[in-house]
């Protein structure tokens, strides 16, 4: 009689930073705020600058 093998599926939880759009590794420190996830360093930069806009939105200043 054969015994049934238990099958465990690995679930892929990939998370990207809302500020820099770089993937957050499972071992990295991350901060979840307002339903968004950030690297710890990105979140501290965001709060220090006083901006809640993503980095790409800050670069669209329009100019000459």
pTM listed for this prediction? 0.56
Q: With contact defined as beta carbons under 8 Å apart, do 22 and 15 qualify?
A: no
34/28 Cα distance (integer angstroms): 19
Give the start-to-end residue ranges of the domains of the chain. Answer: 15-50
Q: What is the pLDDT of residues 10-41, one digit of tens each?
A: 556 789 999 999 999 999 999 999 999 999 99
């Amino acid at each position: 009689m054969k015994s049934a093998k238990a099958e465990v599926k690995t679930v892929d939880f990939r998370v990207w930073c809302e500020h820099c759009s770089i993937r957050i590794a499972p071992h990295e420190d991350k901060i979840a705020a307002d339903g968004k996830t950030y690297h710890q360093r990105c979140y501290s930069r965001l709060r220090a600058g006083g901006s809640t806009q993503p980095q790409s939105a800050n670069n669209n200043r329009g100019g000459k």
